[in-house]
Structure 1
Amino acid sequence: MILITGSTGGLGKETINALLKLIPAQQIVALARDPEKAIDFSNAGITVKKGDYSSYESLPAAFSGVDKLLMVSAPAFSDQSLEVNTIRAAKDAGVKYIVYTGIQRKQGSTWVIPGVTERDLQMEKLLAASGMSYTIVHNALYLDVLPFLLGNSVIKKGVLFPSGTGRAAVATRSDLGEALARIIIAEHIYPQHITLSNSQSWSVTDIALLLSKITETDVPVIELSQDEYIAYQEQSGIPPFYAKFAADWAAAMKAGEFEETDPLLENILGRKPIGLETFLREMYKPLLQI
């Protein structure tokens, strides 16, 4: 049996949808704090178990009979006891292999994205100390979050994301979810640290050029400081906390944290991952009909 935590979140759903195409539904367990939100999985024949990561007592029974656990990282800034409880319960229940989803970072980097990288580093220590077999998957920055990072007025006002000349080998949640599904069902165990990133990396200049091509308008790159970007996001209606969080990702991209490409994602998928132009064309194609 394979259990997926965070099953009702974006990456968890994509992974389970991919698993349904690869193995029988009866071999999949979806863990959810609120099983009502996972009713579609139940209807597909998947076993949905209730589990609250903040409560260790709710987890061992849910993990009973599970051989492999795909542990989708908890939301940024959430209590790190969630991971502690999950690993402890998995070990106590006899889970043989854990795959944990972290964030891509440059090799040897000490860069910190508040609320994110500290969690990954803590997880590395916890998993190493657990004595269990595990793989930490360093996922690329999601293509899916670009519309939020770029803002609603990117076509009219230009690309204002303050990442300088930094590049990112961004990938879609759907491609990452499919790769995770294939990793967790593989007969072999993957190395303890792997990176899933696109086969190409892009900068904000590339984004602007592609948006200009797609919309047949001039979409420039507007250089802003971190503070100016935060102010711009807040003026667009984004709460200050989220505006600052977006700026932290821009700073990490500027520092090259997401620039390294890796062939593994393409190799696992057996095809080219969805690229920036394909994603932007799908996202902004309604503008072509205006």
Structure 2
Amino acid sequence: MLIVTGATGRLGALIVDRLLERVPAERIGVSVRDAGKAAHLAERGVRVRAGDFTEPGGLAHAFEDAERILIISAAIRGEGAVAANRAAIDAAKAAGAGRILYTSHQAASPTSLFPPQRVHAATEEYLAQLGVPYTALRNGFYASALEQHAGAALATGTLAVPQDGPVSWTAHTDLAAAAVVALTDNGALDGVTPPLTATRTLDFADVAGILGDLTGRTINRVVVDDDEWVSRMIAGGVPRPAANFLLTMFTAARAGEFAVTDPTLERTIGRPAATVRDTLESFLRVR
């Protein structure tokens, strides 16, 4: 059985939908914190079981009969994320999975300025020590992160964020397609993958320009001082720890951590990767 965790999240849901196009539903299992939210998958014949990385005792049931398991990284910040990911990996090994797959990040590093990349680096290191075939999918930075900034820019006419740097913004749909290939073709992607990214890097000035082209409006890119931006976020209702965390994306970007592209994603999915323009067009259609 092919098991996907986090199947009700944005990436996990896309992965399961595409997996259903390639294999019979009875070969697919999902592990989710709230089984009720996956009732629609059960109706399609997918095995739905409750599983929570922070309560690893229940993962044995969720991972039962696993052939391969895709572990979508825990949506937790800090050291708790590493512990949760390790618990899921341990449970996958104990379940006898022939391959463990994990959603990592394009530039996972123990010295990254962006905390999630340090979590991914620690998780990759743990995976490599287990002696089980594994795949660490080094996903590009999710292009969907631009949506909240685009919404604010359209409301004000300015894209006002801290100094940034080039980022290879990558679509969830493409990363889901690559994950399905990795799950269904045991030799397609092995070990730590190259960065799974779109083919271009863009900064927020580029994003502002694309928004302007798509809407026929002038969207000005304004650089905001780091401390001022954090204060604005807090004034808007974002807790200080969350605002400080969000700032690290900009500090890592201007240090060049996300300024990488690689052809592996397009080769894996067999088509051109979606662009930022594609992502923003989709956002504008549904907003």
| TM beyond 0.5 | yes
1:155, CA displacement in angstroms?
A: 5.1
Gaps of 5+ in 2: none
Give the residue type in structure 2 aligned to 1:112.
L
Partners of 1:150 and 1:161 within 8 A in 2: no
1:238 to partner: Cα distance = 3.0
Q: Give the 5 Å matches for 1:207-226.
A: 207-226=207-226
Partners of 1:24 and 1:210 lie apart in 2 by 40
The CA distance in 2 between the partners of 1:59 and 1:100, in whole Å, is: 16
Q: Alpha-carbon deviations, 1:99-132, whole Å to 9, x = none?
A: 11011117x7832323x12311221221122111
Q: Provide the C-alpha distance between the structure 2 equivalents of 1:146 and 1:67, rounded to a whole number of angstroms.
A: 36
Point out the more displaced range, 50-59 or 252-261: 50-59
Q: 1:234 to 1:129 in 2, by over 3 A?
A: same
2:133–2:190 Cα contact (<8 Å) kept: no
Find out whether 1:193 has 2:192 as its counterpart.
Answer: yes
Distance 1:233 1:157 in 2: 18
2:98 counterpart (86, 96, 99): 96
**Partner Cα distance (2:111, 2:221) in 1:** 29
**Structure 1 residues 173-184: aligned runs within 5 Å:** 173-184=172-183
Match of 1:272 in 2: 272
The farther-off stretch of 237-246 and 34-43 is 237-246
* Secondary structure, aligned partner of 1:99: strand
- Assess, with a 3 A threshold, how the Cα gap between structure 1 residues 189 and 278 changes in structure 2: closer, same or farther: closer
CA contact (8 A) 1:144 1:173 kept: yes
Between Structure 1 and Structure 2, how many residues are aligned? 284
Shift of residue 189, structure 1, vs aligned partner = 5.0
Name the SS of the counterpart of 1:152 in structure 2.
helix
Structure 2 vs 1, CA of residues 187 and 286 (structure 1 numbering), >3 Å: closer, same or farther? closer
2:103 aligned with 1:105, yes or no?
no
Q: CA deviation at 1:212?
A: 1.4
1:188 Cα offset (Å) = 1.1
**Letter of the aligned partner of 2:259 in structure 1?**
E
In structure 1, C-alpha distance between the alignment counterparts of 2:221 and 2:71, rounded to whole Å: 38
CA distance in 2, matches of 1:6, 1:142: 16
| Matches of 1:226 and 1:138, distance apart in 2 | 28
CA positional deviation for 1:285: 4.8
Question: 2-side partners of 1:109 and 1:11: how far apart?
Answer: 24
Label 1:231 to 1:154 Cα distance change in 2 as closer, same or farther (>3 A): farther
* TM-score of the superposed pair, with normalisation by structure 2: 0.91
Alpha-carbon distance between aligned partners in 2 of 1:211 and 1:136, rounded to the nearest angstrom: 33
Q: For residues 77-115 of structure 1, give each alpha carbon's deviation from its aligned partner in whole angstroms, at most 9, with x where no partner exists.
A: 162322222122111221110111011117x7832323x
Aligned residues of 1:155 and 1:219 also touching (Cα < 8 A):
no
CA contact (8 A) 1:151 1:233 kept: no
Tell me which residue corresponds to 1:167.
Answer: 166
CA distance in 2, matches of 1:117, 1:262: 18
Amino acid at match of 1:162: P
Amino acid at match of 2:114: I
- Taking the TM superposition and a 5 Å limit, the aligned residue runs for 1:42-121 are 42-77=42-77, 79=80, 80-105=82-107, 110-114=111-115, 116-121=116-121
Q: Is the 8 A contact 1:149 1:246 kept in 2?
A: no
Shift of 1:157: 3.7
Q: Percent identity?
A: 27
Deviations 1:37-76 (A, max 9, x none): 1111101110011222222321123222111010100013
* Secondary structure in structure 2 of the residue aligned to 1:119: helix
TM-score (norm 1): 0.91
Matched residues in 1 for 2:192 and 2:36: separation? 34
SS in 2 for 1:168: coil
Unaligned 5+ segments in structure 1 are none
Residue equivalent to 1:31: 31
**Secondary structure at 2:167's aligned position in 1?**
coil
Task: Give the partner amino acid of 2:84.
Answer: L
CA distance in 1, matches of 2:253, 2:150: 13
